[in-house]
Each structure stands twice: as C-alpha cells, then as structure tokens.
A and B are shown apart, each in its own frame.
Chain A
Amino acid sequence: AQSVTQLDSQVPVFEEAPVELRCNYSSSVSVYLFWYVQYPNQGLQLLLKYLSGSTLVKGINGFEAEFNKSQTSFHLRKPSVHISDTAEYFCAVKDWGGSYIPTFGRGTSLIVHP
C-alpha cells in the first residue's frame, strides 16, 4: 500500500526566510504528486502538481517543488516566506491509472513569525 510521510508536523520560520517542507512517499510504480495548502477554516487548495516532464514544478504564491525519483521525495520550497503563508500544507500521491484515490500525508503546519 502507498504511504506519504511528511517528516515535520510543524515548521516555524521567520518572515522573509526560506523554507522547505519535506515529503517522502512509498510507491513501486509511477506516480502523480501534489501539494495542497489549507488556510484556517477553509478547504484545501492545489498549490502545484507533478504529472510528468520537468522535475522542478512551479506553483502559485511563489512555491516550487522538486520530484526526486531515486529518493521518492517531493519537497516543497519557497525562497522567502510571508506572514500570509501561515497555513497547513499537505502532500499527496496518486498512482498512474489504477486507484481513483490519492494518498495524503498528515500535513505540516507552517508558522511564519514576524
């Protein structure tokens, strides 16, 4: 069975500092990869996705992620965070074809301090 591990449950960082949120997955087949953001009391919003092609994916709000097949990782990065980036971030993976259901990580809470 597939699993997604978000290694940090909480990441505190100061405003304008860089940040990396880590995501590792276990799958023996080709996958699609996603990052979502959830602001308090809202639904999840797609930040970016990797389906195929370039392993560096750029998303909304200045975020990017890099797919590393050998390390089965899909870490999310931003060079300079803002207070408004404070939110919960979820990594998700879905096998090519097959199941309709993506597997989600448990989430990482990004807390940006002034």
Chain B
Amino acid sequence: SQTIHQWPATLVQPVGSPLSLECTVEGTSNPNLYWYRQAAGRGLQLLFYSVGIGQISSEVPQNLSASRPQDRQFILSSKKLLLSDSGFYLCAWSGVGGELFFGEGSRLTVL
C-alpha cells in the first residue's frame, strides 16, 4: 500500500534562517506531488505541485522554493525565513481519481 511521510514534524526557526522540509512517498511511481500551507485558523493554500522529476509549478510567488530530485521525493526550502512563513505545511500525492493523500504535516514557527 502507499504511504507518505514528511519531516520534521515540528520546528522552530529564527527569522532569516534556512528551511528544508522533506516528503517521501512509497508504494507508487510517478505520483503528482503537492505542498500546501495552512496559516492559523485558515484554509489550505497550494504552494507548489510537481508532475515529474524536476518539474515544479509555483502557485504563489514568495521566498519559498521546491525541488523534486527523485521520483518520490519532494522538498520545500527557503534560504531566509520570514515571520509570515509560520504555518502548518502539508505534503500530498494524488490518486487516480484526483483525490489527495496527505502526510502528517510539519508545523513551522518562525520567531
């Protein structure tokens, strides 16, 4: 069966520091992959999606970037974090019918 993992689960970072969140999917090949963010008390904001290795589409211009170095690995990065980057980050992959399967989430607090 397919599984998705993301880490770290929680991190506290100072403003201006770098960021790296990782997501891996197991049990499927060539999945569509997504990064979402939830700010406190708000809905889902799509940040990036990828339909293949090295293919990244950005939905929101910001100081975040994404990479897909391997088929089932999706990385979210920043060179310098802002206070506004705080939130709950979710990685997901999509099934045949377009349903999304989400990871456990990574809570980022920027101080």
A and B associate in one complex: yes
Tally of contact residues, A, Cβ under 8 A: 21
Chain A proximity of B66: nearest CB distance (Å): 14
B43 touches A104 (CB 8 A): yes
B97 to chain A, nearest CB (A): 5
Q: Which residues of A contact B90 (CB under 8 A)?
A: 43-44
Q: Is B101 an interface residue (CB 8 A)?
A: yes
Q: Which of B's residues lie within 8 Å of A, judged by CB? A: 32, 34, 42-44, 46, 49, 51, 59, 88, 90, 92, 94, 97-105, 107
Assess whether B97 is in contact with A43, with CB atoms less than 8 Å apart.
no
Known contacts A42-B105, A43-B90, A44-B90: does B43 contact A102 (CB below 8 Å)? no
Output the nearest chain B residue to A4 by Cβ-Cβ distance.
B43
Query: B98 touching A102 by the CB < 8 A rule?
Result: yes
Residues of A with Cβ closer than 8 Å to B?
32, 34, 36, 41-46, 49, 51, 90, 92, 94, 100-102, 104-107
A102 to B32, CA, bound (A): 12
- Which residue of chain B lies nearest to A93 when distances are taken between CB atoms in the complex? B98
Give the interface SS of chain B, mostly helix, strand, loop or mixed: strand
Of B88, B92, B99, B105, most A-chain CB atoms within 10 Å: B99
15 pairs across A/B with beta carbons < 8 Å?
A32-B99, A34-B98, A34-B99, A36-B102, A41-B105, A43-B103, A46-B100, A51-B97, A90-B43, A100-B32, A101-B46, A102-B98, A106-B42, A106-B43, A107-B43
Top-5 shortest CB links A-B: A43-B102, A106-B43, A94-B98, A44-B102, A51-B97
Q: How far is the CA of A36 from the CA of B44 in the complex (A)?
A: 12
Instruction: Report whether A46 and B43 are in contact in the complex, using a CB–CB cutoff of 8 Å.
Output: no
Q: How far is the CA of A75 from the CA of B99 in the complex (A)?
A: 17
Beyond known contacts A32-B97, A101-B34: 19 more, CB 8 A cutoff: A34-B100, A36-B100, A41-B88, A42-B104, A44-B44, A44-B100, A44-B102, A49-B99, A51-B97, A90-B43, A90-B44, A94-B98, A100-B32, A100-B49, A100-B94, A100-B98, A101-B46, A102-B100, A107-B43
Q: Report the minimal beta-carbon distance from B39 to chain A, rounded to whole angstroms.
A: 12
